[in-house]
Amino acid sequence: MLFVDGCHLSGPYKGTLLAASALDADNHLFNFAYAIVSSESVEDWVWFLQSVAYCLGGLKPVIMSDRGQALLKAVPLVFRKENHAYCLRYLAENFLQVAGKHGIRKEATKQLVKEMLYRVAYAPTLGEYNAALQELRAYKPELAQWVNDNEPEQWVEAKFRKEHWGRLNNNVIESWNNWMRRL
């Protein structure tokens, strides 16, 4: 499993740092590849991911990303869509914005619907997924519809067909980005 992200550079050097990291056998951060490119364009991501694919010698790992527009187009071109997992943390941010538009503004209520979303996402079986989604639908049908409209097969444990060891967020690459910013 590889976690990918781009980090905009500031200071004397401009551009974007693209990176792919993993976890080693001891669950420690393992930087696999990085490159400095002009932007987070589809073309730059395709080039970077093709370079990663070449290094992997034909292996097709799960690629976890923040679901950025360029990555949504680039990952399927190189690794196929069924290998692209979406980060739950970013999805939850979008979900809470939608919840706010449907009248959910109090912190306690936001926390409740976020927990409901996490029950949907982490459900290990389709039966538990359907029960969690039904609970969300009973609370606010628009939020359950949001789940259906946002490709749950790319981020829900019970629906994602590739092994990703219960990892539903991109914290690995975010940790690497934070480490790089301090250098």
- Per residue in 104-138, pLDDT (tens digit) is 889 888 999 999 999 999 999 999 999 999 999 99
- Per residue in 85-113, pLDDT (tens digit) is 999 999 999 999 999 999 888 988 899 99
Domain boundaries, the chain: 2-86+168-181, 88-154
Q: What does the chain look like in DSSP terms, one character per residue?
A: -EEEEEEE--TTS-SEEEEEEEE-TTS-EEEEEEEEES-S-HHHHHHHHHHHHHHHTT----EEE---HHHHHHHHHHH-GGGEEEPHHHHHHHHHHHHHHTT--SHHHHHHHHHHHHHHHH-SSHHHHHHHHHHHHHH-HHHHHHHHHT-GGGT-TTT--S--TT--S-HHHHHHHHHHHT-
pTM of the entire structure? 0.87
